Chains A and B, each alone.
Chain A
Amino acid sequence: EAGVAQSPRYKIIEKRQSVAFWCNPISGHATLYWYQQILGQGPKLLIQFQNNGVVDDSQLPKDRFSAERLKGVDSTLKIQPAKLEDSAVYLCASMRGDTEAFFGQGTRLTVV
Chain B
Amino acid sequence: AQSVTQLGSHVSVSEGALVLLRCNYSSSVPPYLFWYVQYPNQGLQLLLKYTTGATLVKGINGFEAEFKKSETSFHLTKPSAHMSDAAEYFCAVSGGSNYKLTFGKGTLLTVNP
Binding site for B on A (CB under 8 A): 4, 31, 33, 35, 40-45, 48, 50, 55-56, 91, 93, 95, 98-106, 108
Contacts and interface: CB of A to CB of B under 8 A. Distances in A.
B100 A42 contact: no
Nearest to B103: A42
Interface of B: 4, 6, 32, 34, 36, 41-46, 49, 51, 90, 94, 98-106
Given A91-B43, A100-B46, A105-B43, A41 B101 contact: no
B111 to A, nearest CB: 19
A56 B98 contact: yes
Given A43-B90, A91-B43, A101 B101 contact: yes
A95 B46 CA distance: 12
A48 B100 contact: yes
Given A35-B103, A91-B44, 8 more contacts: A42-B103, A42-B105, A45-B101, A45-B102, A55-B98, A93-B101, A95-B99, A101-B46
B49 A41 contact: no
A97 to B, nearest CB: 8
A102 B104 CA distance: 17
Contacts, number: 61
Chain B interface helix/strand/loop/mixed? strand
5 contacts: A40-B106, A93-B101, A101-B34, A104-B43, A108-B41
A50 B97 CA distance: 11
A102 B36 CA distance: 10
Nearest to B36: A103
Nearest to A3: B43
Nearest to A43: B103
A84 B39 CA distance: 25
B90 A42 contact: yes
Contacts of A95: 99, 101
